[in-house]
Amino acid sequence: MSQYASISQSDVSGRFDSSLALSVASLAGRVLLSAIYLISGLSKLAAPAATIGYITSAGLPFAPLGLAIAVVVEILGGAALIVGYRTRFVASILAVFTVATALGFHSNLADQGQFIHFFKNIAMTGGLLQVVAFGAGRFGLDARRT
C-alpha cells in the first residue's frame, strides 16, 4: 500500500478545507469560461464593421442587430458570470448563445477549422451547463442573496 493510500479522511480534512477549494475552483472556472466571451465581445466593439461583414458572410440576416445582441450577451454575460450575478440564468443564456453560434458559424464540419470551433463551442456549453447545475458557489453575488 502506498503512503498516500493510508491517509485517513480525518487527516485530509484537518489540513485541507475542501469547501474552500471547491469555492475557489468554482470562481476560477467562471473566470476562465468568461474570458472568451469578454475578449470576443470587446473585439466586436473594436471592429464592428468586420463583425457585421462576418455575420453577413455566414448568410445570417440583420447583421447589425446580431452584432448588438452578441456584444450585449458576451460582455454583460461574461461580466455577470465572473461576479456570480444570477449565475444559473446567465450561464443558461450563454449556453444557448454558444450553441447558436456553433450552428450558425461553424457548421461546416468538413472544414477542420470549423470542426474544431464547433466542438470548442460544444465543450464550452458543457462547462456552462455545469454552472447552471451547481451555481456560482461561495464567491459570487448569488451567495449573498440566500
Long-range contacts of range 54-62, CB-CB < 8 Å, 24 or more positions apart?
A: 54/105, 58/104, 58/105, 60/104
What is the predicted pLDDT for the residue at 39? 98
What is the predicted pLDDT for the residue at 1? 47
Q: How confident is the chain (146 residues) per 10-residue block, as mean pLDDT?
A: 48 68 94 97 97 95 97 98 97 98 95 97 98 94 82
Q: Can you tell me the distance from the alpha carbon of 131 to that of 87, in angstroms, rounded to the nearest whole number?
A: 7
**Residue 135 three-state SS:** coil
Say if residues 80 and 93 touch (Cβ distance below 8 Å). Answer: no
Alpha helices in the chain (DSSP H): 9-15, 18-46, 48-57, 63-71, 77-83, 87-105, 112-134, 141-144
What is the predicted pLDDT for the residue at 35? 97
What is the predicted pLDDT for the residue at 144? 87
**pTM given for the model:** 0.85
